[in-house]
Structure 1
């Protein structure tokens, strides 16, 4: 990598760039109701165009696979039974799934219609090429920020071409088109109208209505509001509620219509909460069984004719355990979910090696494995759920056999470091990063198994970059910075 120090970015550029980010909603809300811009890079990462096209070809197939698995309730319940015994939250989730769908041999068909909004995260490993880090099927956010980052770098390139070129990895690279915000909104709007049409018989009664379920005191609100504004421009009414609020505000209308107090009929429910226990915790309810009321509120939603993301089954189908099962499964078995052998091989080509935790795996890891080549993961969503390197053996020694199934080993990915340093701007202050690596998240939107974007289900991308020395790369909770993508042709 070229470590030659570039001249510092002028402070005037930093200030105007930070103000652009705030002005365009690329920000987090502070406790005092002020806003701070998202940390960002001055110039995009680069990727070979053929690699990006490979990911764009594989991702819709992954989405098709996940959708079909999520509707295969016998498979979900039988294959995830062990992890439910090892992880209390997963146990609750699987129990809710059984309440919604019944048990094997005694199936129930809940009225909800599945809207799969998915972000599949990849890293382009130096040795093995692009591989999946994880599937995100619940609260898969930041498509709006992804599009804004692409627009932001175009703004920098136009306003300060010298600064932009000084920090660009390849001056000939062309920015990859990114319609993440527009396509996500389009897909949701199409879905909302389809649900409404089943009730109105051609008579327009009101604007289709979109309900976003949010966390209390959420600070990542602007990414959410950008989506809401885009939906409003498409004629969709938007409302926000917490699970706590919904526990007393939902009711049932004719033909299993979901009704919200003081709003009316709901067409789409989009969860930006529900992936962790605390989202269902309501201390004021003084429940005998923790989280019972609010988790039953989510079940109540699924019992109505409404488009839902994420359903219980989608959340189960995008779990780490399911990712591990799919990785180990022969390609021929994907036919159960509608993928022929060539499609299955394409999906398998981007899945990184994973191993279950048991006595044999622990013994192998402690005596034979190269520990830096693996990461230990539990079922948690978001940052802070991974153990790396030498710390893995210590963590494994602390686990009881009853906890093994909640964890898995995954091949650690070492993506290419950028050939030139970059400038990261955090809280208005620039920092040079010499070892920056990037994570690529591709969005897809499918309703009831069919693509609903103008790009055949594809819905843009999100780039998050971080120093290679940092383990946690989240923009919101880690050391990550918002980035975009430029493509190069290499022969």
Structure 2
């Protein structure tokens, strides 16, 4: 659910090439100029093994060319887009990102408890952003009824890029709803270790430098522990899903672990189905067709597209009013918005929520530049050098950010419409990571490209009143894309799943 920043114009991308592997007669037609150490014959073997491995191990997504693939399991399955080899990444920066995760988990929890901070920080955005306004309305209703979320579960992911100029690891965003790929990211790491175990000698690469990834297992464990805290053995975990989801297998991995390892049953429901089938008992228990729901895990509900009618909004309010454990609750959802990210980057704001000065220092070190559009000095800089900034609306799910000269044009347009319109956006420093050569496999075809990568660290947080039950780093997600692309969605076809090779 994250958009990556593109490489700087000073890192001009080479023209990527792509050719299909000829697996019938052994004649490879793959250009290898990006990596002279890998022969075309070896590449052919690795790609063949990669496609077989993905099929056997469930590293798959729905086929965008099959209309039923996002609706019916098992129909129209293709291998997930992947990097053939892991991305080189400094171990110290990887460990830094892992170390930050429990601090960010705690920060989200404390911010979520400050209703006035959330409402005040988003008050101007509410006036010009209908989607954020509806979320805030639900939050207000919960504040008015003084409803307490005693058991709070967060499954988060903090995304980073390594800035080439400063050599600093900088945060792109913190996701608190529908953090995708905990299932498939584990498989990519496993696949890369498998490939290096077989071909590492030829490549002079060590499989043990690809860190183990336990995101799906740890996420499932956190969900199971939350289910246990609810204390109803007959209750289920409900996953809120979109009507069409080509990434459904990523979700099914969690369901499978919950059932096989913990004996916890899951159900998948759209917001429309919840509106039709859901009801509250007098004590706040949520029933879906007479099944008690202990935990609600959102893999939908983060975009206006998920709310085509009032029924979906009614379902969101119904769930929030229930005693079920929400992942995320409405307050956790709002704590992950872009505007809150910007507010937390202001001087002395982190100190409002965190007592440990060292923790505050660690978080501030990874903050990229974030500004309100009320800042006249920064607006002057943007007009002069728009390529150095990213304009972000209060949206998740990719494809929403604005780059390059479009930043300037959008700001001029918003200024004409009135200063209030600017409150719907935040301005962020554009991160310019170093590009590197890579081999990407999409639709069974090997592409040789210059790429940039983004590292996401998964985190889980579970608290029951004053007792913190879980606060940990759970695994990681690496997404790699062609350096000339502004977009970063894997399922949308802009990026591939990857893992890290620690150096």
**Taking structure 1 as the reference length, what is the TM-score of the superposition?**
0.87
Residue 158 of structure 1, CA deviation = 2.3
Contact in 2 for aligned 1:111/1:256 (Cα 8 Å): no
**SS of equivalent residue, structure 1 residue 448:** strand
Match of residue 403 from structure 1: 421
User: Cα deviations across residues 292-332 of structure 1 (Å, max 9, x unaligned)?
Assistant: 222121111121221111211111111110111111232xx
Residue 251 of structure 1, CA deviation = 2.0
Match of residue 28 from structure 1: 61
- In structure 2, C-alpha distance between the alignment counterparts of 1:260 and 1:220, rounded to whole Å: 24
User: Cα deviations across residues 133-157 of structure 1 (Å, max 9, x unaligned)?
Assistant: 0111111121111111110101111
Contact in 2 for aligned 1:110/1:302 (Cα 8 Å): no
- In structure 2, C-alpha distance between the alignment counterparts of 1:43 and 1:271, rounded to whole Å: 32
- The number of equivalent residue pairs is 454
Q: Does 1:365 align with 2:410?
A: no
Residue 452 of structure 1, CA deviation = 4.7
Equivalent of 1:181, from 211, 216, 224?
216
Q: Does 1:265 align with 2:292?
A: yes
Alignment of 1:35-434 (within 5 A): 35-102=77-144, 108-110=146-148, 113-128=151-166, 129-161=168-200, 165=203, 174-196=209-231, 200=232, 205-206=233-234, 208-233=235-260, 234-253=262-281, 255-262=283-290, 264-281=291-308, 291-330=309-348, 333-358=349-374, 360=376, 363-368=379-384, 370-399=385-414, 400=417, 401-418=419-436, 421-433=437-449
- In structure 2, C-alpha distance between the alignment counterparts of 1:73 and 1:216, rounded to whole Å: 32
**SS of equivalent residue, structure 2 residue 58:** coil
Which blocks of at least 5 consecutive residues in structure 2 are unaligned?
Answer: 1-10, 12-32, 69-74
Equivalent of 1:19, from 15, 40, 52?
52
Contact in 1 for aligned 2:246/2:491 (Cα 8 Å): no
User: Cα deviations across residues 323-344 of structure 1 (Å, max 9, x unaligned)?
Assistant: 11111232xx423323322211
**SS of equivalent residue, structure 1 residue 150:** helix
Q: 1:314 to 1:235 in 2, by over 3 A?
A: same
Equivalent of 2:487, from 472, 480, 488?
472
Q: Does 1:7 align with 2:7?
A: no
Q: 1:391 to 1:478 in 2, by over 3 A?
A: farther
**SS of equivalent residue, structure 2 residue 394:** coil
- In structure 2, C-alpha distance between the alignment counterparts of 1:13 and 1:3, rounded to whole Å: 16
User: Cα deviations across residues 163-184 of structure 1 (Å, max 9, x unaligned)?
Assistant: 6x27x6xx58711121111111
Residue 110 of structure 1, CA deviation = 4.6
- In structure 2, C-alpha distance between the alignment counterparts of 1:110 and 1:485, rounded to whole Å: 40
- In structure 2, C-alpha distance between the alignment counterparts of 1:268 and 1:442, rounded to whole Å: 23
- In structure 2, C-alpha distance between the alignment counterparts of 1:366 and 1:483, rounded to whole Å: 33
Contact in 1 for aligned 2:200/2:207 (Cα 8 Å): no
Match of residue 438 from structure 1: 453
- In structure 2, C-alpha distance between the alignment counterparts of 1:243 and 1:112, rounded to whole Å: 24
Which blocks of at least 5 consecutive residues in structure 1 are unaligned?
Answer: 282-290
Contact in 2 for aligned 1:327/1:348 (Cα 8 Å): yes
User: Cα deviations across residues 187-240 of structure 1 (Å, max 9, x unaligned)?
Assistant: 1111101112xxx5xxxx53x521001000221100000111011112111110
**SS of equivalent residue, structure 1 residue 273:** coil
Contact in 1 for aligned 2:124/2:420 (Cα 8 Å): no
